[in-house]
Amino acid sequence: MSFNIALSGIQAINEQLNTLSNNIANADTYGFKSSRANFASVYAGEQANGVQVQSLTQNIGQNGSLATTGRGMDAAIQGRGFFTSRDDQGIVSYSRVGIFSTNADGLLVDSTGKKVQGYGPTVGGVLGTMGDIEIPTGQIPAVSSTRVAYAGNMSGDWVTPAAAFNPADGNTYNMVRQSVVYDSLGTQHTVSQYFVRTDADTVTVHYSLNGAAPTGAGFAMNFGTNGQILPTTTTGPDLTIAGAAAGAENLVFNFDYTGTSKFAGEATNTTNRSDGYASGTFVGVELAENGSIVAKYSNEQQQVVGTVALATFPDEGSLVSVSDTAWIANANSGAPLYTTPGVGLGGKLSKGMLEGSNVDITSELVGLMTSQRNYQANSKVITAENQMMQSLMQAL
């Protein structure tokens, strides 16, 4: 009987050694979670009959340390949650390893080539449909300008020019600034603004489109005693560039002077930006800390094309391991609850970092030495029983 008990001990210790060895081997594996072998007694009726490894407990709840990679498509989860991926057979798995890239089909994939799951582009403040995240890798079309945001200080120290405005004579205006606008084909056009101090409370703007002579009396910006532009004069007149480029629509736009001031001191320009842009070619993709997938284009435009989803579970410790860094859900773990990083139970993302293994090498080595002593003890029991049986047989 003692022979069988000792043998069961050796078998159980072998399983524990496999678990300890796997933990130690994956001490440097990103997203790895250590496991522990749980022993239990084996009974034959009321008689003790040895020991067995009853279960393996995964230490999923403990996060590993963060390792800096500097890569824009790497991310670590600080807190709860798992990245979600789907393979070609439709099997959904969950992982803490945030190594992402774009495949040849323009889909966001993880380090194993599985399709990362997330939400489509947000429309009207509502997240898109959950599914594969598509990255538009082609060219984005041009967008014609409708407004130019311009803000600056008109300088309260300006002196009203003595002569009538003449764009060819720099003494007839106080400042000139250029802005760039785009037509429907993405062709650039230059708009020059000539600022003229009319009186203590008014600055008049004359517009030159693509170098043409300004027409009309100009647009009057009025300022209050606090030096700020009056709300009634923050929006300039509609300006039209007819037949902007061959095949392009007429370009109609205006200037928004919100935030412009007239304080004493130097004339400055803090904002000069139109809302249009030329067409652009895809140059790369980056992951933001809120989980947004941002596509970048050669025209300096950026588009949020999706948001990575995080899955949390009622009992994440019951997830079934399918590899050292991936799990699938089952009845015991409960159904996944999907959210975005930093929302609800989902942890925040640390961009340019990866979560390391949560293995404690010191504890694992101590456990390894303890298992070795237990293995030797059980071996000695078997040796002692064998010697005893030999002695009995010789005595007969």
The domain ranges of the chain are: 2-61+357-395, 71-130+302-352, 147-274
Average pLDDT over residues 351-361: 92
| Residue pLDDT, tens place only, 244-272 | 567 788 899 999 999 999 999 999 999 99
pLDDT for position 94: 96
Side-chain half-sphere exposure of 316, counting CA atoms within 13 A: 23
d(C-alpha 250, C-alpha 121), whole Å: 30
Q: What is the pLDDT of residues 273-317, one digit of tens each?
A: 999 999 999 888 999 989 999 999 998 888 899 999 999 999 998
CA distances from 196 to 207, 229, 250, 269, 367 (A): 11, 15, 28, 15, 83
Rounded to whole angstroms, how far apart are CA atoms 396 and 388?
Answer: 13
- Please enumerate in sequence order all residues whose Cβ is within 8 A of that of 389, keeping only pairs 6 or more positions apart, or say none: none
- Label the pairing between strands 302-308 and 310-312: unpaired
> What pLDDT, on a 0 to 100 scale, did the predictor assign at position 58?
84
Measuring CA to CA, which residue among 118, 98, 129 is closest to residue 343? Answer: 118
Average pLDDT on 6-15 reads 75
pLDDT at 367 over 90: no
Least confident of 88-97, 130-139, 201-210: 130-139
| pLDDT higher than 60, residue 1 | no
How confident is residue 154, by pLDDT bands cut at 50, 70 and 90? very high
Superfamily of the domain at 147-274:
Flagellar hook protein FlgE (2.60.98.20)
Q: What pLDDT, on a 0 to 100 scale, did the predictor assign at position 229?
A: 96
3-state SS assignment for residue 62: coil
pLDDT, residue 273, reads 94
How high is the mean pLDDT of the chain? 89
| Strand, helix or coil for residue 177 | strand
Q: Is the pLDDT of residue 198 over 90?
A: yes
- Quote the pLDDT of residue 19: 85
At 15 the pLDDT is: 83
Q: 71-85, 115-129, 202-216: which range is least confident on average?
A: 115-129
pLDDT digits (tens, 9 = 90+) for 96-106: 999 999 998 88
Identify the pLDDT of residue 36: 87
Query: Given this model, what pLDDT does residue 331 score?
Result: 93
Q: Tell me the residue length of the chain.
A: 396
Question: What's the rounded Cα separation, in Å, for the pair 267 and 127?
Answer: 44
Q: Is the dihedral of CA 136, 140, 143, 148 positive or negative?
A: positive
As given in the structure block, the two tokens for residue 8 are 């069961």
Q: What is the pLDDT of residues 217-246, one digit of tens each?
A: 899 999 999 999 999 999 999 999 886 567
DSSP 316-349: GGGPEEEETTEEE--TTT---EEE-TTSTTPPEE
